[in-house]
Amino acid sequence: MSAKSTPKKTVKKTSDDEVVKKPVVRKVNKKRPQLLRGMKDILPQEQPYWEFVLESAAQTSRAYGYDRIDVPVVEELNLFVRSIGTGTDVVDKEMYEFETKGGDEVALRPEFTAGICRSYIEHGMMNLPKPVKLWTNGPLFRYDRPQAGRYRQFHQVDWEIIGSPQSALDAELISLAYHLLTGLGLEVTCQINSLGTPETRKAYITALKDYLKPHKKNLDEDSQERLTKNPLRILDSKDPGTQAILEDAPQMIDFLDDESREHFMSVLEYLDEGDIPYRLSSRLVRGLDYYTHTAFEFILKADEAELSPPALIGGGRYNYLLQELGAPEETPAIGMAMGVERIILALKQAGIEGSPAPKPDVFLAQIGETARKRALRLFEELRQEGFVVTSNISKNKLSDQLSLASKAEARVTLILGQKEMIDNTIIVRDMENGSQETIPQDDLIRSLRKQIKQ
Ligand code: AMP
């Protein structure tokens, strides 16, 4: 076709760059900005707990052969709708979703699995030796009602094993969870169930609905609504009336086909072999749509008697999700996530302390302007030599600095004053016995090494 015969429409297209650069006229609100509801500052005094949990998780993940991955906080809204599923609370009620200035529908991630699966597919990880074991951690967002231990921005550590249907991997993942939690000092139980395949689940849902329909008016309000939208979630209800009705409900395990039953039995045998304690829990369904076969949650032993105790870790197998998201072949997988805030709460309740910051080897004290300048450089030299050094460059008086050094429980305090600057020496004070000696600055590193025995 010639250009003449197709008159071009003059639709003015704005490029993404133009959209980004377009200024927005804003009114400035003079009210003092405040923390948003459901959000939390993690203050310095909380950090030892975070370090303890995240360091333990990182070490355990490495030991079990996981590679670290990080995926963006913002993804296409559709990714979560497709994977988590409509009819689930996360997608229907809890997503932080918005339209970007460029008109894209996006969401803050409410969980990790979907993003990791997208990344696996986009980066062709199916060509890697299977299974691919990935772990990550970071913030997630759910617009839920905030309560004790439940936030709108919360943190998880997440593990995914992609590319194998083997039951041994279900058991290995559960074993990682068990050893990580007990290694942190928590007494836990694993509750486990099998959700079978999408077909067996469908048959079960029909049976459950048939059983519940005559009881509809006695169910709690949420469950009445779920009867049509997502009947499996009724099994999670905390309402005692609904729970009483559920006592005689059909059990998922009776609906499993041979293959699903075999897979489940095999997982349990591996767990027995590894001395991992578990309890069968026929009502455990988990909130997300994509689970198949094994589903599990770790709870505190102390919470065992509760109707629906808060989970510390939750996970399950998802054999069809990757294909649903565009993987070119069947890609069975299993994963789990640990709620960091929940773990820290449990640690505090059990009186378990986090990792204290390491005590300094050296406190570097200085008196006078020239010494202060030298101290700045010496601080960095000592740090690069591998010593844990601390100082307070804003203090002038030696007595103030010595009391800071003993408060920090430093092994040694170094004192640089005017005289030492002239003589090129430094005073080394042993904080344990109070003895001190003056040595040439050139001998400092050697002498510290001897004293601190690195
Ligand atoms: P889920 O992704 O819902 O299976 O949850 C996995 C873990 O994350 C749970 O076991 C909880 O410990 C934690 N978790 C889920 N939602 C929240 C929330 N809103 N605030 C704090 N922790 C949460």
Task: Classify burial at 294, counting beta carbons within 10 Å of its beta carbon; exposed 0-12, middle 13-18, buried 19 or more.
Answer: buried
pLDDT(180) > 90? yes
Higher-pLDDT residue of 134, 91: 134
Would you place residue 287 in the very low, low, confident or very high pLDDT band (cuts 50, 70, 90)? low
The C-alpha angle 398, 48, 365, rounded to 5 degrees, equals: 10
Domain count, the chain: 2
pLDDT at position 454 is: 52
- Position 236 in a domain: no
- Position 219 in a domain: no
- Position 223 in a domain: no
- Position 50 in a domain: yes
Q: Is 385 a known ligand-binding residue? A: no
Nearest CA to ligand 1 atom 1: 314
Per the CB < 8 A criterion, the answer to whether 170 and 294 are in contact is yes
Q: In the structure, which protein residues have their CB atom closer than 6 angstroms to any atom of ligand 1?
A: 111, 142, 144, 150-151, 154, 156, 287, 311-314, 337, 339, 341-342
Report CA-CA distances (Å) from 374 to 200, 377, 383, 404, 442: 74, 5, 14, 20, 13
Which region among 263-267, 270-274, 305-309, 342-346 has the lowest average model confidence (pLDDT)? Answer: 305-309
278 in the same domain as 183: yes
Q: Which domain holds residue 338?
A: 44-196+256-349
Residues 308-325, mean pLDDT to the nearest whole number: 94
421 in the same domain as 285: no
pLDDT at position 22 is: 75
Nearest CA to ligand 1 atom 8: 339
Average pLDDT, the chain: 92
415 in the same domain as 335: no
pLDDT(11) > 90? no
Task: State the Cα–Cα distance between residues 400 and 405, nearest whole angstrom.
Answer: 9
pLDDT(6) > 90? no
| 74 CA from centroid of ligand 1 (Å) | 19
For 11, phi then psi, to 5°, come to: -85, 125
Would you place residue 283 in the very low, low, confident or very high pLDDT band (cuts 50, 70, 90)? confident
333 in the same domain as 268: yes
Would you place residue 285 in the very low, low, confident or very high pLDDT band (cuts 50, 70, 90)? confident
Share of the chain above pLDDT 70, in %: 95
- 3-class secondary structure per residue, 214-226: HHHHHCCHHHHHH
pLDDT at position 9 is: 47
**Which atom in ligand 1 lies closest to the alpha carbon of residue 311?**
10
- Position 17 in a domain: no
Higher-pLDDT residue of 3, 89: 89
Would you place residue 2 in the very low, low, confident or very high pLDDT band (cuts 50, 70, 90)? very low
